[in-house]
Amino acid sequence: MSKNCPDCGRRMDLSWRQCPYCTREQQAGKSKDLDWISPTGEESMTDNKPRQATRVGRDAPRSGARRTEHYPGSVERRPDPERAADNRRIVGVLVSYTWEQGGRVFEVREGRTHIGAGEIKGEDRLTDVSCPQDDMLSDDHAMILVQGGQDGEFYISDLSSMNGTVLNGKRLRPEIPEPLPSPAEIKVGETVFTFVRLAGARGTAISEPPKGEPPRRPPTEIR
């Protein structure tokens, strides 16, 4: 026994709760991670390996007449920001004790370092300093800009966030970079960071130590 879908007119089995063809068309394009809608309307997740899917023949005379098709392809997945390689030089750190009793350290690198609770505006990746547990933090809240490398200039700007950015007790004007001293206290949402700039002997060659002595390297200074 079968029935026809009132929307598309395709033949349906009496045991189906909804039309799989209509459901699949509605869900197409909404999510890259959902690649198959079962006849019962349940969504399934797949990995990046070639996959198989059971599809119901349009002219199937009974519910058991199904065929399994094997087809290539993979689901596009956003790279894990914690695993993505970032070869930029580390020039400073942000330390926060707001959410973890033992504290947490975030790296500040050459170029842009975004602070927020979600994705960077215009980019399909999370912020470099991500605190999703802070409900008062905008997705892309503030940005530290380092120009000229480790011995260059440091700036911080509020990216038109909902609740603003405070530097050493002073509220920043949106979208206007301000010099970032070291050390400094930065408050975004309910999260408080202490910023420390790292300064080392950049570009200094390390000479060969005398035999029997361990190798030495230029010390890292905190200023």
Please check the confidence at residue 41 and state whether its pLDDT lies above 60: no
| Banded pLDDT at 206 (limits 50, 70, 90) | very low
Closest CA to 104 of 80, 132, 138, 136: 132
| Banded pLDDT at 112 (limits 50, 70, 90) | very high
Of 71, 100, 126, the domain-final residue:
71
Q: Are residues 95 and 183 in the same domain?
A: yes
Q: What is the pLDDT of residues 124-157, one digit of tens each?
A: 899 999 999 999 999 999 999 998 866 789 999 9
Q: Are residues 108 and 163 in the same domain?
A: yes
Within-domain flag for 211: no
Say how far apart CA 134 and CA 26 lie, in whole Å: 34
User: Taking the C-alpha atoms of 92, 98, 104 and 109 in order, what is their torsion angle to the nearest 10 degrees?
Assistant: -30
Cα-Cα-Cα-Cα dihedral sign, residues 91, 97, 99, 102 = positive
Say how far apart CA 130 and CA 163 lie, in whole Å: 16
Within-domain flag for 77: no
Q: Count of CB atoms within 10 A of residue 133's CB?
A: 13
Say how far apart CA 137 and CA 113 lie, in whole Å: 16
Within-domain flag for 78: no
Q: What is the pLDDT of residues 76-103, one digit of tens each?
A: 445 454 445 788 999 999 999 999 999 9
Within-domain flag for 76: no
Within-domain flag for 223: no
Q: What pLDDT shows up at residue 25? A: 75
| Banded pLDDT at 74 (limits 50, 70, 90) | very low
Q: Count of CB atoms within 10 A of residue 54's CB?
A: 11
Please check the confidence at residue 178 and state whether its pLDDT lies above 50: yes
Domain count, the chain: 2
Please check the confidence at residue 54 and state whether its pLDDT lies above 80: no
Q: What pLDDT shows up at residue 2? A: 67
The 3-state DSSP class for residue 13 equals strand
Q: What pLDDT shows up at residue 37? A: 46
Q: Are residues 100 and 190 in the same domain?
A: yes
Inter-residue long-range contacts of 67-76, CB under 8 Å, 24+ positions, other chains counted: 74/48, 74/49, 74/50, 75/32, 75/33, 75/35, 75/46, 75/47, 75/48, 76/32
Judged by average pLDDT, the poorest of 59-68, 110-119, 130-139, 141-150 is 59-68
Return the CATH number at 101: 2.60.200.20
Within-domain flag for 44: yes
Contact yes or no for 109/121 (Cβ under 8 A): no
Contact yes or no for 103/84 (Cβ under 8 A): no
Q: Are residues 115 and 61 in the same domain?
A: no
> Which range marks the domain in which residue 190 is found?
90-199
Q: What pLDDT shows up at residue 94? A: 97
Q: Are residues 94 and 172 in the same domain?
A: yes
Cα-Cα-Cα-Cα dihedral sign, residues 5, 65, 69, 17 = positive
Q: Are residues 50 and 146 in the same domain?
A: no
Within-domain flag for 220: no
Q: Are residues 95 and 16 in the same domain?
A: no
Q: Are residues 17 and 105 in the same domain?
A: no
Say how far apart CA 123 and CA 142 lie, in whole Å: 15
Share of the chain above pLDDT 90, in %: 44
Closest CA to 127 of 173, 166, 172, 94: 94
Q: Are residues 97 and 166 in the same domain?
A: yes
Structure tokens at 81: 């920001």
Please check the confidence at residue 110 and state whether its pLDDT lies above 50: yes
Q: What pLDDT shows up at residue 196? A: 96
Q: What is the pTM of this model?
A: 0.54
Q: Are residues 11 and 96 in the same domain?
A: no
Q: Are residues 33 and 118 in the same domain?
A: no
Q: What pLDDT shows up at residue 32? A: 47
Q: What pLDDT shows up at residue 201? A: 37
* Higher pLDDT pick, 165 / 207: 165
Q: Are residues 66 and 95 in the same domain?
A: no
Within-domain flag for 217: no
